[in-house]
């Protein structure tokens, strides 16, 4: 019970930080923040999705990097400070609840993919052509891979499995490991449909 309460606390704090810091939209240039009209507290989820839908590729790229760093740091903190394999759920699984909440609020999708270690769920197997290519690139040593398709910016970032005993499950207990093992985190954000980009050349 105590472990579960800790998880609830971590997830609550994490979501608050993500909403208030990582995805906050700065005041527009030339318009001092103090002169801007206060926004009504009843701004709904549709407004957030509309904001994300008109984002430029540059903005989407920066926001995706923030999301990756945030999720990666949260995963590390949960493993280091709260995870007990005998009493608590796997942190990566718990974080999928965060993914769903952030997607509902910000229209920013996230999901795990297997790269060069065992997938702990069939849902984590790379499915799309982008995900399969991203897994190849990360396995080859690249830290990130990106692409824009059909108005959606996609970024795949490497997640190391070399800490916190991850390989016990992802590689097999007692098995000898001879190389770095990774999972991948896919971040997908809608962007301006007509904007061109060199994404994919990372």
Domain that holds residue 80: 2-21+44-190
Q: What is the arithmetic mean of pLDDT over 130-149?
A: 95
Q: Indicate the number of domains in the chain.
A: 1
Q: Are 152 and 189 in contact (CB under 8 A)?
A: yes
pLDDT in tens, 36-73: 544 544 445 555 555 545 689 999 999 999 999 989 88
- Residue 49 in tokens: 């999705």
| Residue 197 included in any domain | no
Quick one: pLDDT at residue 185? 94
| Residue 158 included in any domain | yes
| Residue 173 included in any domain | yes
- How buried is residue 131: exposed, middle or buried, by Cβ count under 10 Å (0-12/13-18/19+)? buried
| Residue 32 included in any domain | no
Candidates 71, 66, 80; CA nearest to 185 is 71
Whole-prediction pTM:
0.66
């Amino acid at each position: 019970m105590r472990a579960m309460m800790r998880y609830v606390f971590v997830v609550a704090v994490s979501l608050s930080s993500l909403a208030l810091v990582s995805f906050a939209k700065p005041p527009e240039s030339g318009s001092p923040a103090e002169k801007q009209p206060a926004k009504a507290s009843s701004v709904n989820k549709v407004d957030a999705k509309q904001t994300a839908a008109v984002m430029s590729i540059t903005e989407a790229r920066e926001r995706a990097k923030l999301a990756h760093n945030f999720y990666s740091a949260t995963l590390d903190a949960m493993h280091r400070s709260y995870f007990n394999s005998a009493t608590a759920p796997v942190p990566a699984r718990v974080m999928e609840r965060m993914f769903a909440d952030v997607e509902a609020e910000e229209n920013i999708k996230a999901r795990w993919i297997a790269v060069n270690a065992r997938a702990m769920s069939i849902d984590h197997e790379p499915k799309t052509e982008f995900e399969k290519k991203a897994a190849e690139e990360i396995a080859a040593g690249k830290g990130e891979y990106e692409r824009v398709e059909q108005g959606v910016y996609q970024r795949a970032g490497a997640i190391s499995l070399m800490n916190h005993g991850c390989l016990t499950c992802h590689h097999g207990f007692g098995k000898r490991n001879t190389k770095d093992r990774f999972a991948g985190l896919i971040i997908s954000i809608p962007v301006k449909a007509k904007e061109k980009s060199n994404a994919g050349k990372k």
